Amino acid sequence: MVNLQIIDDIVSSLSKLPGVGEKTATRYALWLVEHKKEAEKLYLSLKYMLDNVKLCSRCRCITTNKDGICDICKDTRRDSSILCVVENMENFLAIESSSVYNGTYYILGGLVSPLYGIDSYKLGLDYLIDRIITENIREVILVVSATLEGDLTTQYIKESLKDASVKITKIAFGIPVGTNISFVDKDTLIEAFKSRHAV
């Protein structure tokens, strides 16, 4: 019998990706076996990512810069007095591609969730609060899901900044409750930023 352990190993790894089940992972694994050149390109990209890509020490976006600071944080043309706090990298990419915003970012990488053991420490919220205060940020725009976890995260940030002179807003208009903004079209996202409100 043919030894299919290597296929099983690839399927096991691929099925850990979000939205990829075992059947889809099997199709991907078999496709990669049949398309060696594409598999090699993927391997080289993944190796480069492992060797060079890191999270920005200021905003937690990805960067390949040696000093660990991403290009957005270094860009002096951006408005450093406004900080957009986003739930994840997908949200960040959606906002950047819409060209609706020209401030700086902080990527949470999740939301406060006691049920799953995700607390303020894991999200770097203490660092975020300190950054907002020490850098005299005048407005914090929260882009988080309209869920219990999103509300808990918003409340934590709001409570931590209650004595600071900073405006805290959330994007609103046109974003249905519970919708991930990664799936929202550009025009709706622009209107949501324009119609942001205080929290």
Q: Measured between alpha carbons, how far is 77 from 72 in angstroms, rounded to an integer?
A: 9
pTM over 0.75: yes
pLDDT band at 140 (very low <50, low <70, confident <90, very high): very high
pLDDT at 21 over 80: yes
Where do the domains of the chain lie, and which CATH numbers do they carry? 5-52 (1.10.8), 65-198 (3.40.1360.10)
pLDDT digits (tens, 9 = 90+) for 160-199: 999 998 999 988 655 555 566 666 667 677 767 766 767 7
> Residue 126 and residue 175: Cα distance in Å, rounded?
28
Of 132, 152, 149, give the one whose Cα is nearest residue 140.
132
